[in-house]
Structure 1
Amino acid sequence: MNVRQRKLEMIEAMNRARALEPSSFMPNKLLDTLIQKMHLKNDAELCRVLEVQPPIISKIRHRKLAVGATILLRMHEKSDMSIKELKELSNASMH
């Protein structure tokens, strides 16, 4: 087995392990609540309101990207929800 194959196997193993890790980051509740409170239809409208590219919201929704400070501030400004509320929604448990 060459070095490239080993590297690929290691990356795949890390990705599998990461997928099994419990995480408190639950972006769907945050994004769905924003859509509901702002009377939007879908993620595309949320992108327009927040002035971000659709892949950003998609990556957040699929837990590939955390909600950064800039997007959190935009969510706060556009929705009039407190930052504390927004952070609690993104860390809410699924139970």
Structure 2
Amino acid sequence: MNVRQKKMELIEAMNRARALEPSSFVPNKLLDTLIEKMNLKNDAELCRVLEVQPPIISKIRHRKLAVGATILLRMHEKSDISIRELKDLSTASMH
């Protein structure tokens, strides 16, 4: 299998994984709530507090990356918001 075929398979796998994501995933509400409750100014400050690179928060905000266990735990540790509440914020309905 050549490099191009491997790349195509990886892209297809990523697209299948995205299709399985819950449609109720609302990262903006989660990130905006964290920024508000932690009295931060913007995503850049949130990145510094969570000790993650800015592209991570950007990808989460643009629904290109799900909130994984590691970052969820870090959000909990830094904000004192329960993991249950953080998960609820990320899956809240848009009503």
Which of the five TM-score ranges fits, normalised by the shorter chain?
Answer: 0.7 to 0.9
**TM-score normalised over the length of structure 2:** 0.78
SS at match of 1:75: helix
Structure 1 residue 24 displacement after superposition: 1.1
The corresponding residue for 2:65 is 65
CA distance in 2, matches of 1:37, 1:25: 20
TM-score (norm 1): 0.78
Indicate the residue corresponding to 2:84 in structure 1.
Answer: 84
The corresponding residue for 1:53 is: 53
The answer to whether the aligner puts 1:36 opposite 2:36 as a matched pair is yes
Distance in 2 between residues matched to 1:83 and 1:33, nearest whole Å: 13
Report how far residue 22 of structure 1 moved: 7.2
Largest Rg, 1 or 2? 1
In structure 2, what is the Cα distance between the partners aligned to 1:22 and 1:83?
18
TM superposition shift of 1:60 = 0.1
Look up the equivalent residue of 2:58 and give its one-letter code: S
- Shift in Å, 1:25: 0.6
The Cα shift of 1:57 comes to 0.1
3-state SS, counterpart of residue 65 of structure 2: coil
Give percent identity, aligned residues only: 90
1:21-67 C-alpha deviation (Å, 9 max, x unpaired):
97111000000000000000000000000000000000000000000
Q: Which runs of 4+ in 1 moved over 4 A?
A: none
